[in-house]
Amino acid sequence: MTTIDRPNDLPADPHGGDHHDEGSYLTPKGGFWAVIWDWCTTVDHKKLGIMYLVAVLFLFFLGGISAMAVRLELWEPVRTLDQVVLLEDGTEATETITTGQLFKSGEGTDIAAGNNIYNRLFTLHGAIMTFMVIIPSIPAALGNFFLPIMLGAKDVAFPRLNLMSWWIYVIGSVFAVGSILLGGVDTGWTFYTPYSTTTDGYWNVLLMVGGAFILGFSSILTGLNFIVTVHKLRAPGMGWFDMPLFIWALYATAIIQVLATPVIGITLLLLIFERVFNVGIFDPAMGGDPVLFQHFFWFYSHPVVYVMILPGFGVISELIAVHAHKRLFGYRALAFASLGIAAVSFLVWGHHMFTSQGEVTAVIFSALTFLVAIPTAIKVFNWIATLYKSSISINTPMLYSYYFLFLFIIGGLTGLPLASLATDLHLHDSYFVVAHFHYVMMGSTIIAFIAGIHHWWPKMFGRMYNERWGMVGATLVFVGFNVTFFTQFFLGTRGMPRRYASYVDEFQLLHQISTVGSWILLLGFLVHLFVFLHSLISGPKAPPNPWGGLTLEWETESPPIEHNFHHEPLVKHGPYDFDEVHPPHCDPAEYPIPEPALGGKSH
Amino acid sequence: MAINLTTISAPALSGVTNTLGEGFWHNLFFRDNPNHPDGFIADGLFMFLWWLGVVWFVLLMGLATYWLIKYRRRPGVPAQRSASHNTPLEIAWTVIPTLILVVIFVWGFRGYMRFHIAESGGEEITLVANMWNWDLTYPNGQKSNLLTEEDLGADKRPVFVVPVDTPISLRMTSQDVIHSFWVPDFRVKLDVFPNRYSTYWFRATEVGDHWIFCAEYCGDQHSEMAAILRVVEPADYAQFLVDGGQDFATIPPAQAGQILSSSKGCVACHASTEAAGTGPGWAGTYGYEVRFTDGTSQIRDANYIRESILTPSVHIVEGYGNNMTPYAGVLTEDEINYLIAYIQSLSDKAPKSVFEVPGEGDGESGEGSETEDVEVDDMTQAETAEDTIAQTETAEIPGG
Amino acid sequence: MSTLPAPGPNVSGADEPKDARPLWQRYRAASHFRSRDEEFDAAKLGMWLFLTTEILLFAGVFVAYAYFRMLHPEAFANGSHYLDVRWGLLNTIVLLISSYTVAASIRCAQLNKQKMLKINLLITLVCGFLFLAIKFVFEYMPKWSEGKRPGSLFNYAYAENNFEHLWWSVYYTATGIHALHVIVGMGVLFVMYLKARKGFFGPKHYMGVEIAGLYWHLVDVIWIFLFPLLYLIH
Ligand code: HEA
Ligand code: HEA
Ligand code: CUA
Ligand SMILES: [Cu+2]
């Protein structure tokens, strides 16, 4: 086990040393404006984490609302009908009317103008949800708050860089969301050329693409910060394999962020050049190649789906261990699986292009894609094996972890028909894909995110939330989610293409079921919102360790003091040694240590 | 690929495939049996993956649920000690999925290669996609954009006709952005690129109608690129190649002429505009005077046009060569009439009656619905015809 | 960049007694680091990671270059003939010199040769400036005015190949992004120079110059790749 040696020449640092009579990081310093200024310029990873959390939830709300609008438009297909109308002079005339189009542009029967609104809605939805919600969600919000604390550090390695990433994130989001004010973007979140370079709305597209470009920097810098922090700032006594799995997951994520994001940077930059200077590299009319864009785009955007899911895996590992009060089964396997997924994720991007590329590449990419399923499967098995002979508290985080397993297994398994060549030719760009990625993004990552928020809520805000209503919300979300998206698998196999503002009649029933599901989802999230607000206003005060966790964040107070710990912690046990130590700040009688098994120590 | 995959017969595969690819569960996922000889592989694989998924899901979630209930927390009772890892178990659950994945990969790979390697023989049809239409050109030059469109409940969709049990290769390209040609009942789609060809191969196994969708997002009317692929008996197809599925007795003669002009190959040399090709463009010919190579000149009337079709070498318009094959004996009298009507309709000196009605009395039923079915505003070839016909029909063309 | 040393309150806290030692001796690591060395290590690791991202960014450009070279070999062969190897070579030499001087400046900081430190930084800056000047005045400007421009701006009357505009697209993109990096690098080095004038760097504290130097070497290395690709391979 590698431990960091305490350097002998420790300076007599007034800021190092101990922090005995420090208040919570949330204690306001000064008046209203002073507090605002303090939050805007803070380098405290906790405050930055909270700000990310608020921003991400707000953008999730925006993205969610546009999803609700998308679902509403799909309630009915758009039809043009000839209708006999009575004119003023008493004669009859036929008039063409449009029905089933919720979003219209002005009067009349111009279907295209209405479709255009729909196209802007799903692009907005996709862009917000990927670039602004799910990528920063767990790493930037929960990760920023808890990575240093779980490592026993006072802050991330480069606090000011962290502040900079936050502001870059804000600017990028303002750019991207601001493009709505100019009338929106209708390229789809994938920005495929030559459509994206020719569609109208010059500035809108530039703003959106520019926004995504800027957001990329935020992602890179956060990742870079996390890698260095993990390498250099682990508390004394904490070797690599004493790190909580959440940290492992964030570490693997950060590697992908640092290695993949620059490529989307250059891709979007080239796209901007293409649009502004007409350089022609993606323009077939000028000898360029639109498929090159697709390769560039997916070289980033496939690894990025693991940027989305790995932190979710980390959260679930943490939650299952703590709420089942059980040492995780196969700690090292879980850690290495995260790294393995990160490594393989770079080799499979071509599986998004089976219908657009040559046969040899398609075959290679298909084979490589299946590789990624192996470490993922291992993770699932380990989580479930952990439940065996454990002691499971049923509460919102645990319930959500259970739902996560449920939804992720479905989401992951439906990746297999997409990865296998013969079936993807049918399923590509159909609602089957839409259902697949909502199961893994919304059903897994967002669920893990919300689960994590509940789990760490007492630590972050020092108050408990209402457990009963938390579980009600969770269940509504779970049910609503399945109603919304399981139907979409059938839509997809039956031939419904994605990004369709309208459809042929035979799909209507399934679409309506899906839309009803989205209302249940909305209801579920509103319950969560209510529970959170209620807790902030009148929740009971949280103890330092409400769940009996062993990782370092439960050692400090709820909410943590400004420098996280009163003394620099010295790590003496592993993060999941529930069968060896009593959790800190807890009544030992509540968390007894099991009798040694007959065969002695089990390690 | 080096291996010749067309020869893989895969009897074992098709056994599994056939049992999986039908019945209740199959009908839940698919609206119909695949209409493509290789679609069965895809369906079989899909259903296999479905059952595989069900098994894994039930196994894993069953265990999780059972343990969640059995081991729920009782205050003061700790989790029991148990191993934190178990090497044989872990090896097993690494190796088993790996083996399953190998099977899935090979199965998918075979199906894919079958989808990609065309059966030999058959027809090649050219497909040009643009925002937001599919335009097919049949081997005889017949253009789909002049042909049928069908009312299905409320939606009008263009209809493309192909023969049953004949291998068809669609040579596809796009005029603007990327589109993707998808016939869900064939279980295969292929992207259509500008400045490049992709070949979509299929052999429809039964007579019937199928949806065609555009599966690559291409802008405002991406969702309106739906069309119908009508699989018909070869004899009907042959007939279709000539008349485009129209009953010439019930449509305006000019329209019939227009269809013939492409199915008989006239458009190869004669533009429907005034632009000169191998032969003179047709717009603005009828009723106008023209000079011939022998120095004489004449106003071009119906008789002149008839002569030019049947025995073109008699008068050669100045500036052109004697390049046209005589059509005497090739066209029926009716067909000549239709063609003349069409050429007349391209000129502003045409008599009104040419494109108004097929016959005063029986026109009532035909006129309202039938003429409307022509997707006039989508003609790319017949620019002028579009204008002329559009002028007289503005009342019936929805939205312009 | 936070990789630059944090001057912050720990450099000369107002509440502390006046300290007459030079700045580099008084420097203390930011409070969440256990020691100065640890901070230095962290900064170096951070910078290396950052350089990785930069290389990956350029990797995209190189891939585009390779891909279009493959698609349109003649256009690219013609294109590189239009470039004057002599200017390219001169610029390569200029950048190599600057790389040497920036390395020398780090050595000077370690040896506490304050004067040479500043001079070396200045020479580096001058080299950077020279590079840009040559690029703009002798390469970009004449080419642009002859119509050798990227994409649809291309307007060169004597083009021999239909796709030469793509060559210029790649050329301007690659060298343009590189030039941008030179400018950023010069900015960073200039800040280092100002700090050096205040006596910020010395044997125990040369983190800033070292980090800036790493960045400058990267700018150099990228050029070392661009030069043969654009100028030498016909
Ligand atoms: C969080 C994000 C996330 C995650 C984790 C995944 C995970 C996977 N995805 Fe998904 N995917 C997306 C997000 C994600 N995907 C998105 C956003 C798109 C669409 C983008 C767009 O076009 O807009 C997409 C599209 C997409 C495609 C392209 C479809 C198309 O457009 O034609 C493919 C094809 O291969 C694919 C495959 C996979 C596979 C094999 C996995 C695997 O990692 C899954 C592995 C998991 C399991 C296999 C389940 C657990 C294991 C078991 C239960 C044990 C039993 C298992 C076996 C026996 C194998 N995905
Ligand atoms: C993180 C990713 C993410 C998430 C979470 C979602 C969530 C949802 N998505 Fe979407 N979706 C995408 C990513 C995501 N989506 C992407 C990438 C695309 C492709 C875009 C493209 O093709 O370009 C897409 C496309 C897409 C389509 C296909 C459009 C088309 O192809 O035509 C549809 C259609 O049903 C849809 C629906 C939904 C619905 C109903 C939800 C619901 O789950 C939303 C529910 C959320 C809410 C209702 C908000 C409630 C929030 C609050 C009340 C705030 C308070 C909350 C708390 C305090 C917790 N999405
Ligand atoms: Cu054409 Cu979508
Ligand atoms: Cu992918």
Average of pLDDT values for C185-199? 89
Q: What's the average model confidence in pLDDT over A27-50?
A: 87
- Greatest mean pLDDT among B151-165, B198-212, C191-205: B198-212
Q: A104-129 burial string, b = 16+ CB within 10 Å, else e?
A: beeeebbbbebbbbbbbbbbbbbbbb
Task: List, for residues A499-513, the tens digit of each pLDDT value.
Answer: 998 888 889 999 999
The pLDDT tens digits of the residues spanning A399-415 come to 999 999 999 999 999 99
The pLDDT value given to residue A570: 84
The CA distances from residue C31 to A197, A363, A564, C38, in Å, are 49, 53, 13, 11
Check CB contact under 8 Å for B193 and A332.
no
Mean residue pLDDT across chain B:
76
**What is the average pLDDT value for chain A, to the nearest integer?**
87
CA nearest to C161 within chain A:
A287
Q: Find the mean pLDDT for residues B206-216.
A: 90
Q: Which of C164, C143, C178, C153 is nearest to C61 (CA)?
A: C178
CA B243/CA B240 separation, integer angstroms? 5
Q: Is the peptide bond before B93 cis (omega within 30 degrees of 0)?
A: no
B154 versus A252: which is more confidently predicted? A252
Start-end of H helices in A278-330: 290-324
Cβ contact A–B (≥3 pairs, < 8 Å): yes
Question: Does ligand 1 come within 6 angstroms of the Cβ of B56?
Answer: yes
Cα(B184)–Cα(B14) distance, integer angstroms: 21
A358-372, B257-271, B360-374 — which is least confidently predicted? B360-374
Q: Which of A352, A406, A428 to mutate to test the pocket of ligand 1 (most atoms within 8 A of CB)?
A: A352
Nearest-CB residue to C60 (from A154, A227, A266): A266
* Averaged pLDDT, B20-44: 83
For the segment A536-559, the average pLDDT, to the nearest whole number, is 89
Give C20: exposed, middle or buried? Use CB within 10 Å, 0-12, 13-18, 19+: exposed
Give just the sign of the alpha carbon dihedral B118, B119, B124, B128: negative
Q: Identify the pLDDT of residue A419.
A: 93
Residues of C numbered 49-78 whose beta carbons fall under 8 angstroms of chain A's beta carbons: which are they?
Answer: 49-50, 52-54, 56-61, 63-64, 67-68, 71-72, 75
Looking at the predicted structure, is the pLDDT value of residue B399 above 50?
no
With a 6 Å cutoff on the Cβ, whether A473 touches ligand 2 is: no
Residue B9 has pLDDT above 70, yes or no: no
| pLDDT digits 0-9 by tens, A257-289 | 999 899 989 999 989 888 888 888 888 888 888
Collapsing DSSP states into helix, strand and coil, what is residue B125? strand
Closest CA to B214 of A121, A115, A197, A66: A115
Q: Is A345 in contact with A274 (CB distance < 8 Å)?
A: no
* Minimum-distance ligand 3 atom for the alpha carbon of B222: 2
Question: Does residue C6 surpass a pLDDT of 60?
Answer: no
State yes or no: pLDDT of A24 exceeds 70.
yes
Per DSSP, the three-state class of A5 is coil
Give the pLDDT confidence score for residue A6 in this predicted structure.
39
Give the separation between CA A48 and CA A146, rounded to whole angstroms.
Answer: 11
Q: Does B120 touch chain A (CB under 8 A)?
A: no
What's the helix, strand, coil split of chain A in %, to 5?
A: 65, 5, 30
- Residue-wise pLDDT tens digits, A322-351: 999 888 888 888 888 988 988 898 888 889
- Of A407, A480, A401, A403, nearest to A437 (Cα)? A407
Residue B80 has a pLDDT of 78
Query: pLDDT-derived band of residue A536, with 50, 70 and 90 as boundaries?
Result: very high
pLDDT in tens, A99-156: 777 777 665 556 777 788 899 999 999 999 999 999 999 999 999 999 999 998 888 9
- Given the structure tokens 């609700």, which residue do they identify? A68
Q: Are C196 and C207 in contact (CB under 8 A)?
A: no
Query: Which residues lie below 8 Å from residue C113, measured CB to CB, with a gap of 6+?
Result: none
Task: Spell out which residues of chain C touch residue A357, defining contact as CB-CB under 8 Å.
Answer: none
How far apart are the C-alpha atoms of A503 and A496, rounded to whole Å?
Answer: 7
Q: What is the structure's pLDDT at B400? A: 25
Given this model, what pLDDT does residue A407 score?
Answer: 96
Mean pLDDT for the stretch of residues B27-46: 86
Residue listed under structure tokens 């993770």 = A379
Over residues C141-160, mean pLDDT: 79
Which ipTM was obtained for this model? 0.88
Place C199 in a pLDDT band, splitting at 50, 70 and 90: confident
* pLDDT reading at C11 higher than 50: no
Burial B261-282 (b: 16+ CB within 10 A, else e): bbbbebbeebbbbeeeeebbbb
More confident residue, B333 or A151: A151
pLDDT of amino acid B148? 62
State mean pLDDT over A52-61: 95
How remote is the CA of residue B61 from the centroid of ligand 2, in Å? 26
State residue A402's pLDDT score. 95
Main-chain phi, psi angles of A197, to 5 degrees: -90, -10
Find where tokens 């299946």 sit: A370
* pLDDT for B8 beyond 90: no
Rounded CA-CA distance C30/C6 in Å is 7
A·B CB contacts under 8 A: 310
Q: With contact defined as beta carbons under 8 Å apart, do A293 and A360 qualify? A: no
Atom index in ligand 1 nearest the CA of residue A348 equals: 35
What local confidence, expressed as pLDDT, does residue B1 receive? 33
Atom of ligand 3 nearest to the CA of B177: 1
Does residue A445 surpass a pLDDT of 90? yes
Average pLDDT over residues C93-97: 92
- Ligand 2 mean position to A72 CA, how many Å? 13
Q: Which residue has the higher pLDDT, C122 or A98?
A: C122
Say if the Cβ atoms of B194 and A194 lie within 8 Å.
yes
Residue with tokens 């700000």: A51
pLDDT reported for residue B15: 53
The set of residues, in sequence order, having a beta carbon less than 8 Å from that of C174 and lying 6+ positions away, is C58, C61, C65, C226, C230
Point out the least confidently predicted range of A484-498, B35-49, B68-82.
B68-82
Which residues of chain A neighbour C50 with C-beta distances below 8 Å?
A: 224
A421 lines ligand 1 (CB under 6 A): no
Three-state SS sequence of chain C = CCCCCCCHHHHCCCCCCCCCCCHHHHCCCCCCCCCHHHHHHHHHHHHHHHHHHHHHHHHHHHHHHHHHHHHCHHHHHHHHHHCCHHHHHHHHHHHHHHHHHHHHHHHHHHCCCHHHHHHHHHHHHHHHHHHHHHHHHHHHHHHHHHCCCCHHHCCCCCCCCCCHHHHHHHHHHHHHHHHHHHHHHHHHHHHHHHHHHCCCCECCECHHHHHHHHHHHHHHHHHHHHHHHHHHCC
